Amino acid sequence: MSRTFNVAVVGATGAVGNQMLEVLEERNFPVKEVRLLASSRSEGKFLEFRGEQLPVQVLGKDSFKGIDIALFSAGGSRSEEFCPIAAAAGAVCVDNSSAWRMDPEVPLVVPEVNPHDVALYRNKGIIANPNCSTIQMVVALKPLHDFATIRRIVVSTYQAVSGTGTHAIDELRIQCGELLNGRPAESKVYPHQIAFNCLPHIDVFLPNGYTKEEMKMVNETRKILGDEKIRVTATTVRVPVFYSHSEAVNIETERKLTAAKARELLTAAPGVLVVDDVANAVYPMAVEAAGQDLTFVGRIREDESIENGLNLWVVADNLRKGAATNAVQIAELLVEKYL
């Protein structure tokens, strides 16, 4: 019989945690037992896994006894505190927060891009899952970088509210209802109304005028592609979409990359689906990417304002490829090759 593993899902009641359970089940991950962990607010709750109702337990120092793999998505401070505790108890942590991503000893992995970095889990017992916006962008850019060497990336994002969690999904739904009924909208999660609006503000502002989300895209992209020379500038925007992030990506390459060659490279790339038939109004869209695991790329065209430039439109489900699916793919590499 093939081996099975005890898996803890930390933040199981959240938007990402819920998706983790779905993806583990869908991909038939070799789970022996799953342990659901969340805050004391969730005490007494049950969640379904493989047709069974399982109790949610309160996260604590003793939560990781017997656990082989711990999937974390309960916020940065929980990851900072509990990943080392889980690792000391013998679990390998796959962490979805930004807490460990830029630690030089912790690998930051997108399986289609840098699968071999998983081996570095041995340093601290932690593997970091990148930010959702970074993941879909590097899946699309990796084959282009390998062929033409990317010098500079200019990216603008159109990010779904599900990236902020279950409360934000509720906020958009409730605001839409109130406003359509002629009543004022109350904002609790975001600093301004999100329904029928765009907020150029994701995560906190930093002293350089960028947001933390924007600087995640800059620093994580370089680390995953293993190229500190790539220049990246980002503007990250929250839009009133429930699921899937969209990105307008402009790249400047060292070598000429025609739109036709880019289309050929992307068609052969793992995890990518080219959706690009503008004559028939066919291009990637958030509503079609939702619930899928691929990164969809379209609007592939040369940037006529510079010598070696290319524009792309990149869309993926932020809770799936942007979080849960990527984390489970990392766990699959771990069990196939290392544990």
131 binds ligand 3JM (CB under 6 A): yes
| Nearer to ligand NAP (CB atom), residue 39 or residue 292 | 39
With CB cut-offs between 5 and 8 Å by kind, which of ligand NAP, ligand 3JM, none does residue 13 bind? Answer: ligand NAP
CA distances from 65 to 13, 35, 56, 60, 62 (A): 21, 10, 16, 11, 6
Residue located via tokens 């060292």: 254
Angle at 128 between CA 126 and CA 130, to 5 degrees: 180
CA distances from 245 to 19, 106, 164, 168, 202 (A): 16, 26, 12, 15, 13
| Nearer to ligand NAP (CB atom), residue 311 or residue 325 | 325
Binding to ligand 3JM in span 262-301, by CB under 6 A: none
Q: Give the residue among 57, 48, 51, 80 at the shortest CA–CA distance from 8.
A: 57
Which of 111, 125, 165, 284 binds ligand NAP (CB under 6 A)? It is 165
Binding to ligand NAP in span 30-59, by CB under 6 A: 38-39, 41-42, 59
Shortest Å distance, C-beta 269 to ligand NAP: 20
With CB cut-offs between 5 and 8 Å by kind, which of ligand NAP, ligand 3JM, none does residue 216 bind? Answer: ligand 3JM
User: Is there a contact between 314 and 275 (Cβ–Cβ < 8 Å)?
Assistant: no
Binding mask 77-106 for ligand 3JM (x = CB under 6 A): x-------------------xx--------
Integer Cα distance of 9 and 12 in angstroms = 5
Contacts of 23 (CB under 8 A, 6+ apart): 29, 320, 324, 325, 328
> Out of 83, 93, 145, 245, which one is annotated catalytic?
245
| Closest residue to ligand NAP using C-beta atoms | 14
129 binds ligand NAP (CB under 6 A): yes
234 binds ligand NAP (CB under 6 A): no
308 binds ligand NAP (CB under 6 A): no
| Nearer to ligand 3JM (CB atom), residue 18 or residue 131 | 131
With CB cut-offs between 5 and 8 Å by kind, which of ligand 3JM, ligand NAP, none does residue 36 bind? Answer: none
Instruction: Report the half-sphere exposure of 202 (CA within 13 A, side-chain side).
Output: 27
User: Is there a contact between 79 and 97 (Cβ–Cβ < 8 Å)?
Assistant: yes
Task: Look up 198 and say whether it is catalytic.
Answer: no
Integer Cα distance of 86 and 121 in angstroms = 13
If you ran DSSP here, which 8-state letter would residue 211 be given?
Answer: B
| Nearer to ligand 3JM (CB atom), residue 160 or residue 312 | 160
Inter-helix orientation angle 212-225/132-148, to 10°: 40
Helix (H) / strand (E) element for 32: namely strand 31-38
Q: Which stretch binds ligand 3JM (CB under 6 A): 59-67, 75-83, 233-241, 262-270?
A: 75-83
With CB cut-offs between 5 and 8 Å by kind, which of ligand 3JM, ligand NAP, none does residue 322 bind? Answer: ligand NAP
Amino acid found at 80: E
User: Is there a contact between 322 and 15 (Cβ–Cβ < 8 Å)?
Assistant: no
| Nearer to ligand 3JM (CB atom), residue 35 or residue 245 | 245
> Out of 83, 93, 132, 145, which one is annotated catalytic?
132
Task: Look up 132 and say whether it is catalytic.
Answer: yes
Angle at 303 between CA 141 and CA 318, to 5 degrees: 35
Name the residues annotated as catalytic.
132, 245
The site for ligand NAP (CB under 6 A) is made up of 11-17, 38-39, 41-42, 59, 73-76, 78, 96-97, 129, 131-132, 163, 165-167, 322-323
The site for ligand 3JM (CB under 6 A) is made up of 75-77, 97-98, 131-132, 163, 216
